[in-house]
Amino acid sequence: MNSMRTLILTWTVILLPVCCVTAGDAGRESPFSIGAGARSVALGGSLTSLAVDGSSVFYNPAGLGYLEFQEVDFMQSLMFEGSRYNFGSYVYPMSSSSGLGIGFMRLGTGDIVRRREYVHAGTFSYSTSQLVVSYGRQLRQLFGFGASLKVVNQSLDDITAYGVGVDVGVRSMIRRHVNLGAIVRDLVQPELRLAGRAEETPRSLVVGASLNDLAICTDLRLTASLDIEHTDDKEVGLRVGSEIVHKNTLALRLGYGRDNPVVGAGFSRNRLRIDYAYELVDHVGDLHHISLSLRFGKSVAQREAELREQVTRLPFRPREEAGLNRLREKANRFFHQFELDSALVYFRLVQRLDPNDQEAAISIEAIEMADRVQKDQADRLEIAADDQQKFVRSFYARAQLYLAQRNYTAALDFLDLIIEIDPGHPFARELRKIVEREKAVEISFTLDTARVAESEGRAVRAIEALNRVIELDPTNREAVESRERIIGSLDIPQRLALGIDLFERGAYRAARRQFNQVLSIRPQEAVALDYLRRIDEAESQVPPGGSTLEDLQKNPRIWKHYTDGLRFMRDGQYQQAIDEWEKVLEVFPDNQSTLDNIEQARLRLESE
């Protein structure tokens, strides 16, 4: 009963404002505004922010960037005086962030009586149709855009005309269940000329919002949407709809669009969906719409997983693979030593031998990006021979690389070193704003991920996300309190699972904390004792190829000694710089960057 009251209240709130709107019939509109699919018709055509299926080719091509499966859709509408309206589409997800679609829509009437001087002279037909080719793409799952190219045909008896039009649309997910969308239909207007008379399809702008797939109880989910539409020479109109789905199988719908109320229902089984809509139309008779949708093929996630598996099975012989690994080691060593020209040469050799090596591709992109930015700004920076300018260039390049690697703390540290030298340095301050903005975006997105994971009962995933937030912002109170709350709710097996996961990802300090908490409850827990021993062994080992600056940055005390040494070196206090860097070598005796810095400082002392 509570669910039924919720349903009635929801539909009342959604449809009440529409009932107060005076319908405006003045002006023209596209004949294809009838819609694309019985589900969309039953929702009043308010699909601008909601369409992520075959109907996207008409309602908003930006939705094609969110497809999961290939899909075909067919709809037929029985209309007055024997007229028929048909829609069909096929959509294909090219990747997890882009998709293509093709659609066909036709409105036609046959057996129209021809009379000449009041005498029956046979029959003729009239039809108008359009072929739509659409493309959509999403960026970071939060924003999508798309466009459609349309070829429109109008035929009257033996006279035919063609025109070309273009639609453009955008879509944004501002919250987990909240979407916004907008489309300009006929931005390029098709012009049709029959018997010497030319007519353009009116341009329209539609803006929409939707609440998608909200759980109102265990078995019921609610979707509600609203579109505001303005068409040339026509009053602003509203399209609104709501849908209740029971166990992902049965759906009931109410809508209001084209000044007509609509009711509908749907049935889904596996990847097949059948929908029906009944549209109440004044004066000319009510309309019936029925459609069928079928999803098929592998999902995007399955295809990408298979591709990743193929990449891991490269047909290298042992000697070839050993040689490739040596090239990777050299490339990474030069990269971590910031000898970028040499690193780029070796990474390109790796990519030539293994075109699917993603790490090499990302590293090449990061180095080339840093090189492009440096070259672009070279004419603005004063190229001086003094030590401070050399430090500025070196610190700026390192900050760019750390930004590309999403190591925001290290990037900000090097930018602060530049600003200490030159407080008004424009490029450093601008890059610092970019770093802080990127950091804030990642913190916000990761907090949302943690909230969703916690609400879905995925404690380990929530803690992983919260650990990343605390790594970026140790003072984030929400992250600290949420992590402690979730960890406090875990039992011993869950704490052990979390500690093992942290250990396998190299987060030894966080893993050690979990295992110590287990031992405080169960002192002889064998798994916790074994993993604490493994952590001790792992922390005592020197990383292959020597420690890197990233290793130093993970230790706040050592990283401060390293950056203080850079400050002393910059200010000509070479002995103080050596003293700071020797403290680094006490923990990381093989760090090549620190050893090189000490050598340079000693040479400066000798020259003085």
Q: Can you give the CATH number for the domain in which 193 is found?
A: 2.40.160.60
pLDDT value of residue 409: 79
Last residue of a domain, one of 501, 518, 541: 541
pLDDT value of residue 4: 47
Residues 6 or more apart whose Cβ sits within 8 Å of residue 423? none
DSSP 8-state symbol, 218: S
Residues 6 or more apart whose Cβ sits within 8 Å of residue 257? 35, 41, 43, 44, 45, 46, 227, 239, 240, 241
**Does any domain span residue 559?**
yes
Q: If you average pLDDT over residues 254-259, what whole number do you get?
A: 88
Q: What is the DSSP string of 110-149?
A: EEEEEEETTEEEEEEEEEEEEEEEEEEEEETTTEEEEEEE
Residues pairing with 145 in the sheet: 137, 170
11-25, 39-53, 73-87, 402-416: least confident range: 11-25
**Does any domain span residue 452?**
no
Contact status, residue 225 vs residue 209, Cβ threshold 8 Å: yes
**Does any domain span residue 286?**
yes
Last residue of a domain, one of 272, 303, 334: 303
pLDDT tens for 399-415 read 888 788 788 878 888 88
Rounded Cα gap, residues 161 and 157, in angstroms: 11
Q: If you average pLDDT over residues 84-106, what whole number do you get?
A: 93
pLDDT tens for 409-443 read 788 888 888 887 778 788 888 888 888 888 888 88
What integer best gives the mean pLDDT of the chain?
A: 82
**Does any domain span residue 448?**
no
Question: Residue 430's CB: how many other CB atoms inside 10 A?
Answer: 11
Q: Which has the higher per-residue pLDDT, 508 or 170? A: 170
Tokens encoding 431: 């890059």
Residue with the two structure tokens 């000898």: 339
Give φ, ψ of 44 to 5 degrees: 75, 10
Residues 497 and 556 in one domain: no
Over 90: is that where the pLDDT of 485 sits?
A: no
Number of domains making up the chain: 3
Residues 533 and 553 in one domain: no
Give φ, ψ of 457 to 5 degrees: 80, 15
The helix/strand count (H/E) of the chain reads as 19, 16
Residues 168 and 89 in one domain: yes
Residues 512 and 597 in one domain: no
Tokens encoding 301: 């996630």
**Does any domain span residue 90?**
yes
Rounded Cα gap, residues 274 and 277, in angstroms: 11
Residues 229 and 280 in one domain: yes
Residues 249 and 203 in one domain: yes
Residues 169 and 74 in one domain: yes
- 81 in the Ramachandran plot: left (φ > 0), alpha (ψ -120 to 50) or beta? left
**Does any domain span residue 477?**
no
Residues 243 and 204 in one domain: yes
Residues 533 and 560 in one domain: no
Last residue of a domain, one of 288, 303, 318: 303
Over 50: is that where the pLDDT of 347 sits?
A: yes
Query: Which domain, by its residues, includes 536?
Result: 490-541
Over 70: is that where the pLDDT of 396 sits?
A: yes
Residues 6 or more apart whose Cβ sits within 8 Å of residue 562? 549, 552, 580, 581, 584, 594
**Does any domain span residue 117?**
yes
**Does any domain span residue 396?**
no
Give φ, ψ of 358 to 5 degrees: -70, -35
pLDDT value of residue 388: 67
101: enclosing H helix or E strand: strand 98-116
Give φ, ψ of 63 to 5 degrees: -65, -15
Over 70: is that where the pLDDT of 271 sits?
A: yes
pTM confidence score = 0.50
Residues 95 and 198 in one domain: yes
Residue with the two structure tokens 């990283």: 559
Rounded Cα gap, residues 242 and 601, in angstroms: 72
pLDDT value of residue 358: 83
Work out the pLDDT band at 380, boundaries 50, 70, 90: low
Over 50: is that where the pLDDT of 18 sits?
A: no
Residues 528 and 574 in one domain: no
Contact status, residue 453 vs residue 465, Cβ threshold 8 Å: yes
Residues 73 and 166 in one domain: yes
597-605 LR contacts (CB < 8 Å, sep 24+): 597/565, 597/566, 597/569, 600/569, 601/569, 601/574, 601/575, 601/577, 602/574, 602/578, 604/572, 604/574, 605/574, 605/575, 605/578
Work out the pLDDT band at 543, boundaries 50, 70, 90: low
Work out the pLDDT band at 259, boundaries 50, 70, 90: confident
Residues 6 or more apart whose Cβ sits within 8 Å of residue 230? 204, 205, 206, 236, 237
